[in-house]
């Protein structure tokens, strides 16, 4: 096993073939590939290799290794604002009479709910809701979500301005 050198970072990946946890060392080339794909997920391996000053086979091999270790995936993402969703509301949910997992599964079926997390603390669930209008948020928070069996109480907020949303990380 290699030790970390300058410009390298340890990362734990799960190989797709056998499911074993393996410690990978991400070096500068891996980091450059990931950074380039964050900017343009459709960039050709040939162009990426040229821009990085490495062989195209190097890029192809590194990409395959990162993908097989489930450390990288290139996916299309929706741009919420471009789709007309002007409002984002983080909401804490207290659950009573049912498991948080069951209530979360029901809430997760709603189209306008984009995340559902089982939490520890004052809320049993933390969700995020998107909407095109304030009226739509009001309807979701007063008429739809509270009617789901097991929802005891909601603690909504309204994101006035999103300062950071790191779309570069996939959910756990």
CA-to-CA distance for 91 and 80, rounded, in angstroms?
Answer: 18
Residue of 29 and 172 predicted with greater confidence:
29
The residues, ordered by sequence, that sit 6+ positions from 152 with a Cβ below 8 Å of its Cβ are 93, 94, 95, 96, 97
Here the tokens at position 119 are: 């939490």
Reported pTM: 0.65
What are residue 35's DSSP bridge partners?
none
The pLDDT tens digits of the residues spanning 70-128 come to 888 887 777 777 787 889 999 999 999 999 999 999 999 999 999 999 999 999 999 99
Q: Has residue 60 got a pLDDT over 90? A: yes
Q: List, for residues 2-17, the tens digit of each pLDDT value.
A: 444 454 555 544 444 4
Statement: residue 26 has pLDDT above 90? no
Q: Which two tokens stand for residue 171?
A: 């959910």
């Amino acid at each position: 096993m290699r030790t970390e050198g300058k410009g390298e970072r340890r990362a734990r990946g799960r190989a797709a073939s056998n499911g074993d946890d393996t410690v990978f060392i991400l070096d500068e080339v891996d980091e450059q590939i990931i950074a380039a794909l964050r900017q343009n997920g459709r960039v050709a391996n040939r162009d990426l290799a040229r821009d990085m000053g490495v062989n195209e086979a190097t890029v192809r091999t590194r990409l395959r290794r990162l993908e097989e270790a489930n450390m990288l995936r290139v996916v299309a993402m929706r741009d919420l604002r471009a789709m007309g969703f002007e409002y984002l509301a983080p909401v804490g949910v207290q659950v009573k009479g049912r498991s948080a997992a069951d209530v979360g599964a029901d809430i997760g079926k709603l189209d306008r709910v984009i995340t559902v997390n089982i939490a520890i603390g004052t809320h049993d669930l933390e969700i995020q809701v998107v909407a095109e209008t304030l009226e739509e948020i009001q309807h979701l928070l007063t008429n739809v979500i509270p009617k789901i069996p097991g929802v005891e109480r909601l603690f909504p907020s309204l994101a006035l301005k999103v300062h950071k949303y790191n779309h570069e990380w996939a959910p756990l």
